Amino acid sequence: MSDKQHTPIEQLVEIMTILRDPQKGCPWDLKQNFASIVPHTIEEAYEVADAIEQQDWTAVQEELGDLLFQVIFFIASWAKSRDCLTLMMSLPGLMKS
């Protein structure tokens, strides 16, 4: 990572970019696409729900982080590399909610 100060979300995007780098990225991450990552995203969402149901707030925090990582995979990494979606493009819709 660069020396410039980044927000936590920018750091997460940068980590995902490194993981998906075609030259030196993680082989597992490089194989993934929208379809292959869906089961993992669903699993993370269920883990968030379960932690909430159990009122295990430490687990909720951890599971939300895992789910956020899945979102970053979709938006900031894979889709961005195909010029169809970026993290910033998805935020205005969120702000209208």
What's residue 84's pLDDT? Answer: 62
- Residue 61 within a domain: yes
Quick one: CA torsion of 74, 77, 83, 86, rounded to 10 degrees?
Answer: 70
Look at the chain and report how many structural domains it folds into.
1
- Residue 78 within a domain: yes
At 47, which CATH number?
A: 1.10.287.1080
From 47, 43, 41, 42, select the one nearest 60 (Cα to Cα): 47
Does the structure show a pLDDT above 70 at 93? no
What's residue 60's pLDDT? Answer: 98
Query: pTM for the whole thing?
Result: 0.72
- Residue 2 within a domain: no
Exposure on the CB side of residue 83, measured as CA atoms within 13 A? 0
Question: Which pLDDT tens digit goes with each residue over 9-67?
Answer: 778 888 888 888 889 999 998 898 888 989 999 999 999 999 999 999 999 999 999 99
- Residue 35 within a domain: yes
The two three-digit tokens of residue 63, written as one number: 């599971």
Alpha-helix runs per DSSP H in the chain: 8-19, 27-31, 34-53, 57-72, 80-81, 87-96
Which residues constitute the domain of residue 26? 8-96
